[in-house]
Structure 1
């Protein structure tokens, strides 16, 4: 037996007395040609029209390779060796599967070829291990996604805010029920879990007989309450799993967002990055930074034998997601949630934002239960009421008014036919001629409106800009920085002075105002330290002297004015209360009011907003006080 070796693309001819080559010569079939045809067919995930020793192998190959149809493969002939006396040849094939980006599965197999007895056509004796080493009859192949570990969301000093935490997925195992029992079990499960009965029954009936019909996902510590009523239902199943979650359900929920199965819209907009069933960020920071947090999936080629044993043939590892760093202080964030909870069940929408003036770090941003999942803390657009008098004060100081100047605070003032008054329980002792400091401390509307003519066009907006309000910045997440548009009427200009009219702000922007007063400059809030922000400086920056006077005015609110209830709270506190009318009048003709309060203490600035309240001091004040006391 004498082997003859063929290099790829070579036609090695051994001349015999008859004039024929060992491989058939230029005019006859060659093993190398068949090997080349085989490699071309395999690169298209098939055996093509290549002659086979056993035709049944063609269908068996198609079934075996089918799960890898979406994986690009290239096959080339590395070598062909013919055994002349036996009429057979061995073709060495080089395989390269592009299993994942930057990860290829490469190996070699040797395929046997047999020549017909008449010295004609070469046929391939295909076997499972010709596709991949160690494959055997009865094996099946599969392509498994290797999920990356999702990145955490961290807070101040690296504290982990959002990470994988245990959950229970409650639902119906349809392999345990059939016929009319499906609807009966689904109905009982929906009632036990307090989910919509009709829609859950409809989903349960529509899904396949082997499906797990998920009803709800609960944190492990919340799940125990539903177990007694749930476990008695036929087919009821609770599956343990994990999800990226914050410490509590309420913890910065609107800001951080949530993770869940990709919706059809998310899949469509992803450009192929996301597939149906993938767990992705659906809202908040989880959605905006989903690609960073998700990482890159890997893939594994697996084989399952006739005994149902699984083994991995090749694995392209996943690239885990990167953490998203924030400045949130977990202790202060929790205290903010707790303070808002003091408003009680059924409370109106409310929010609290805390900022560190020295560096702009956002320490807490919380929304009360009445916000119904909306991020009012960052994106709410409301009239700020008398908290805006901090801005109006700066504009008036720049016009030449001094803190100790005497101003008139009448009970009522009229501008262009519209009457303006002070709030209902305004102290009678502070009506008449009072200092500007006392006008701010007691929050006299008429005193500020009476000085509106001191301001020129754009003065109020410039003062707002100097305190960080009214200039948009891309902070890496949605924020409403407020607006101070030019007034269109004298009445509008008067209303603007007391934070009504067309002036709007969010709790976030009013916390920025308070922080700017404390820092002595327009503070640029920072939640995501790794996000680069192009700050637009104010046209007329806040000066040290101006900031000092504003701090004195806010301190007077606590020592002698509407914020006196904060006097026994630790630290030197400056504050400003605010009440703003909105909406339609009730039967008595009274308008509902927003309640606001802002404050500073040391290196902390806070804004509290309650959508409907009695006044800033009576409704927002207790929330702010609870937060400051807890913050220490």
Structure 2
């Protein structure tokens, strides 16, 4: 009985112990985290509303910069004093999630006392929020943009780097409000931009704002900067922008860089802020995260009276990583120069067959900013006869096999003709090499039964026309329908009907012939997605088609097949429609011309092509509208090859 009595007394004594500070400390931490201190007991001298107001003033800038969910406050320890169980010291662990490599963490101390009603009250002090934070200080966040990395080409030559520019616009501090609308319209008219839209932007901007109208390269002779700045209220402010060597240089592929739009900022989830430069199109946009790096962050305590600052936390900006491309600076510029005076959409693509490196991918101005070189989808015409010839070779034919070339042929009621100037001495029973050299449509269509549609699809894949190849950059190679028959299959044999290819795709065909294997064009160096595609471009790998048909395995291109195709293409230069290429200096050129009709019957027009190989160089030239491949695209090809030596 004595033992039981002792136990009862001990239990009763424990039940009567006053509460510890742990629950009150947890409530304080939660309130500091979410900002609602209305239920927190505070010692005399400060109300919960006053404490909440101080928290808001101190943290507003940080929460705006990092987001409302950035703050975490936890109780690190909460123990009564050894000599006074009515007082306690609470250690609070603060974590601000910065979204960068390091979070801002620190510990503050709160002191609590227990009153006669066993309520723990906190003695409020601003140092509970941040160590050493004085009554006159609040926090500020300074964001430091990272240095944007360059875009590099072959041999790490710089393609895109920070270059001097002039930002031309209306400076509202230089003009009275009454004159501003007219000044904005005058500048817009001089620049040939939308006057109404620009005038609205100027009107909506602050009274001391500079409203940019256009950015021009320093020294750009397209703009008379002196004349523009003579206009009322106009200022040309110097700055820098990541730019290529010229305005036209690979612009549709490389894309552009400019101030981040509201949409980009919103989608970035805090990674991009107003005033940041960001990729707006092309590879600059696709690889923007890599190029722009990670912005730095400094959190300061700012004295509201003196503006004196103390640095509390800093993360240095991390510069972007360069984007490495295979483009050759000189060859790309050569390609741009070749297309300078071409009015319709046009392209020149050059590939190094031994590596698959894309050395040039130029798109003419007629494409209106589209990357005709890498994304254009056009009927390839007779350049596709390289594919058809491979299918025929695989059926057992050789370059010496006889074929019949007639002036015209009728398939299921549809008439197919040779091109109007087809040489009469290449009609009749002729070798395949002669039909190929002179581009006899009727001979290839006449052999369509030896090359079923599946065989043509296989041959196209062997030469790199893979419709769903993901190369790691915006691209289209080509597509050959697998369900064609009748007139559609006949049209396929001569690269028309539903057959599509890009200049990049047809350059890949030429490169595959030169290399003796299926080439995948590489533009972005060491891109993971492209590396995976390279691994998949092996014999037996499923080859996607452009429709819902069965997936076909990729058929290997053999060295013997490639040698026969090179022989056929060389014949186009020595005995066919590309004799003008015999005069191109350097190694012998092998080529194929191409013309593809499009449009209504009463207004037929021609896509014109040429592809060629010379040594370790494969080239495709395309013009959206022209006469023939040899007469329109041919001179451009000859000019490029001569300059590329």
Question: TM-score scaled by structure 1?
Answer: 0.83
Name the SS of the counterpart of 2:219 in structure 1.
helix
CA contact (8 A) 1:352 1:367 kept: yes
Map Cα deviations across residues 548-567 of structure 1 (whole Å, 9 max, x no partner): 11111111111121111111
Name the SS of the counterpart of 2:347 in structure 1.
strand
Which residue does 1:419 correspond to in 2? Answer: 415
2:557 equivalent to 1:542 = yes
2:367 equivalent to 1:333 = no
| Counterpart-to-counterpart distance in 1, 2:291 and 2:365 | 27
| Counterpart-to-counterpart distance in 1, 2:614 and 2:337 | 19
Matches within 5 A, 1:71-150: 71-74=70-73, 96-107=95-106, 124=123, 126=125, 131-132=129-130, 138-150=136-148
Of 561, 565, 575, the match for 2:580:
565
CA contact (8 A) 1:72 1:99 kept: no
| Counterpart-to-counterpart distance in 2, 1:47 and 1:576 | 80
Which residue does 1:254 correspond to in 2? Answer: 252
Name the SS of the counterpart of 1:170 in structure 2.
strand
| Counterpart-to-counterpart distance in 2, 1:97 and 1:211 | 34
CA contact (8 A) 1:325 1:530 kept: no
TM-aligned CA distance change 1:178 to 1:115, over 3 Å? farther
Name the SS of the counterpart of 2:608 in structure 1.
strand
TM-aligned CA distance change 1:472 to 1:66, over 3 Å? closer
Name the SS of the counterpart of 2:355 in structure 1.
coil
CA contact (8 A) 1:96 1:106 kept: yes
Which residue does 1:68 correspond to in 2? Answer: 62
CA contact (8 A) 1:54 1:125 kept: yes
TM-aligned CA distance change 1:58 to 1:375, over 3 Å? closer
CA contact (8 A) 1:39 1:77 kept: no
Which residue does 1:428 correspond to in 2? Answer: 424
Name the SS of the counterpart of 1:525 in structure 2.
coil
Which residue does 1:409 correspond to in 2? Answer: 405
Name the SS of the counterpart of 2:212 in structure 1.
strand
Map Cα deviations across residues 114-133 of structure 1 (whole Å, 9 max, x no partner): 999xxx99884746x77556
Of 504, 508, 515, the match for 1:512:
508
2:570 equivalent to 1:582 = no
Question: TM-score scaled by structure 2?
Answer: 0.82
Which residue does 2:567 correspond to in 1? Answer: 552
2:618 equivalent to 1:620 = no
Cα displacement (A) at 1:613: 0.4
TM-aligned CA distance change 1:222 to 1:137, over 3 Å? farther
CA contact (8 A) 2:168 2:234 kept: yes
Name the SS of the counterpart of 1:402 in structure 2.
coil
Of 431, 438, 454, the match for 1:442:
438
Map Cα deviations across residues 281-319 of structure 1 (whole Å, 9 max, x no partner): 232222222233333333211344434455533212233
Cα displacement (A) at 1:35: 8.6
Task: Give the stretch that moved more between structures: 42-51 or 248-257.
Answer: 42-51
TM-aligned CA distance change 1:167 to 1:115, over 3 Å? farther
TM-aligned CA distance change 1:126 to 1:382, over 3 Å? same
Name the SS of the counterpart of 1:547 in structure 2.
helix
Map Cα deviations across residues 479-505 of structure 1 (whole Å, 9 max, x no partner): 222122246453222222211122211
Cα displacement (A) at 1:360: 1.1
Name the SS of the counterpart of 2:479 in structure 1.
coil
Map Cα deviations across residues 244-278 of structure 1 (whole Å, 9 max, x no partner): 32222222222222223444544555456555654
TM-aligned CA distance change 1:584 to 1:126, over 3 Å? same
Name the SS of the counterpart of 2:179 in structure 1.
helix
2:455 equivalent to 1:459 = yes
Task: Give the stretch that moved more between structures: 197-206 or 305-314.
Answer: 305-314
Matches within 5 A, 1:199-598: 199-222=197-220, 225-267=223-265, 269-270=267-268, 273-274=271-272, 278-305=276-303, 306-308=305-307, 312-343=311-342, 347-486=343-482, 488-528=484-524, 529-531=526-528, 532=531, 533=533, 534-535=536-537, 537=539, 539-570=554-585, 571-585=587-601, 589=602, 591-598=604-611
Cα displacement (A) at 1:366: 1.2
Which residue does 1:189 correspond to in 2? Answer: 187
Which residue does 2:168 correspond to in 1? Answer: 170
Name the SS of the counterpart of 2:214 in structure 1.
strand
Map Cα deviations across residues 415-453 of structure 1 (whole Å, 9 max, x no partner): 333332222222333333433222211222222223223
TM-aligned CA distance change 1:199 to 1:114, over 3 Å? same
Name the SS of the counterpart of 1:180 in structure 2.
coil
Matches within 5 A, 1:2-13: none
Cα displacement (A) at 1:393: 1.4
TM-aligned CA distance change 1:374 to 1:89, over 3 Å? same
Cα displacement (A) at 1:338: 1.2
TM-aligned CA distance change 1:307 to 1:389, over 3 Å? same
TM-aligned CA distance change 1:492 to 1:99, over 3 Å? closer
Task: Give the stretch that moved more between structures: 64-73 or 363-372.
Answer: 64-73
Task: Give the stretch that moved more between structures: 165-174 or 503-512.
Answer: 165-174
Map Cα deviations across residues 560-610 of structure 1 (whole Å, 9 max, x no partner): 21111111112211001111100124xxx4511011000000011011110
| Counterpart-to-counterpart distance in 1, 2:346 and 2:282 | 18
Task: Give the count of matched residue pairs.
Answer: 597
Q: How well do the aligned residues superpose, as a CA RMSD in angstroms?
A: 3.6
Structure 2: gaps spanning 5 or more residues: 1-15, 540-552
| Counterpart-to-counterpart distance in 2, 1:539 and 1:36 | 65
Structure 1: gaps spanning 5 or more residues: 1-24
CA contact (8 A) 2:165 2:239 kept: yes
| Counterpart-to-counterpart distance in 2, 1:122 and 1:441 | 96
Cα displacement (A) at 1:231: 1.8
| Counterpart-to-counterpart distance in 1, 2:221 and 2:114 | 69
TM-aligned CA distance change 1:535 to 1:143, over 3 Å? same
Map Cα deviations across residues 95-114 of structure 1 (whole Å, 9 max, x no partner): 55444444233456678999
TM-aligned CA distance change 1:224 to 1:501, over 3 Å? closer
Cα displacement (A) at 1:628: 0.8
Name the SS of the counterpart of 1:458 in structure 2.
helix
